[in-house]
Amino acid sequence: MEVNNLKESLMTSTRQLSERERETRAAANEGLPTLGFDAATPYDDYVGTATLHRLQRTVTDAPEELAFLVTTQVMELYFGLLRSEWQLAQRQLDDDDAATATVTIKRTVRHFEALNAAWASLSWLTPAQFNQFRDALGEASGFQSALYRHVEFLLGNKSEALIRPHRRNPEAYSELAEALARPSLYDSVLAFLARQGYAIPREAVERDYAADYEPRSDVEAVWAEVYGGPLAPLAEALTDLATQFSDWRYRHLMAVRRSMGAKPGSGGSSGLSWLERSMRREIFPELWTARTLM
């Protein structure tokens, strides 16, 4: 409801233009951009720049904190984008539209490349620089990101315990509880393959989606078969996505190692060792092991 209201507000505040109107305006301006507006520029209205730039509220005077905060906020925006795109891909798979779903997944690989590149804005952070503002962050930790947790659930890394920090945020908790119980992107892919006649066992599709997915040799054999047919591009798009996610986790690990070493995390975890354990949880497992059979 809130999203629809926002869309309606944007449609009324931003006057739509046709191609003909743009051509007429360019001719009247003699090729120069329009310089006069009755209110804020249409760009500012559409992007919400004033709101965006008011969101950077640092809590210390350390100059490095702003880069830390902006990078974190950029990552949150990408988490939301990835969630939306993967949910779209799931709907396309549910409609047996593999070609369009593959295009959507490929697009998210590019989103993930941009997300991973954001780590460059923090890769220089030394312990001395981080320590200037770390204490002021209190218990705030990226571990507490509801959107990142939703992204992990969509990729199949699920845990009921990890939604508990959000119990006091009804909207986030409800969304995560729903995501926990629903199929992951990989579950949607396997269900699609089963409907296409591939020998995906029933137990791999009709299962408790909140539980960890257990790799199966029969699913592995199906992926080896898929690679010899028209759905190979879907398999490769998923592999590219898994690669980018692994890259995300590695860059996160290295950024933590560089800025704070093996100190305990702000959110109560052991920090570096927690991230190292998390890296061992692989997504889309049979896509990797099937390569041995090819």
How distant, in Å, are the alpha carbons of 83, 193, 200, 202, 237 from that of 98? 19, 10, 17, 20, 11
What residues does each domain of the chain span? 2-52, 65-293
Q: What is the pLDDT of residue 33?
A: 82
Alpha-carbon dihedral sign for residues 249, 255, 258, 261:
negative
Q: What is the pLDDT of residue 262?
A: 73
Alpha-carbon dihedral sign for residues 54, 265, 138, 175:
positive
The pTM (predicted TM-score) of the whole model is: 0.89
Binding site members for substrate = 134
Task: Mark the ranges of the chain whose per-residue pLDDT is less than 70.
Answer: 1-14, 264-272, 274-275, 279
pLDDT digits (tens, 9 = 90+) for 76-116: 999 999 999 999 999 999 999 999 999 999 999 999 999 99
Q: What is the pLDDT of residue 10?
A: 47
Binding site members = 134, 252
Binding site members for heme = 252
Residues 45-78 as b or e (16 or more Cβ within 10 Å = b) = beeeeeeeeeeeeeeeebebbeebbbbeeebeeb
Query: Is 124:84 a contact under the CB 8 Å cutoff?
Result: no
Q: What is the pLDDT of residue 64?
A: 95
Q: What is the CATH code of the structural domain delimited by 65-293?
A: 1.20.58.480
Give, to the nearest 10 degrees, the angle between helix 63-94 and helix 127-134: 90
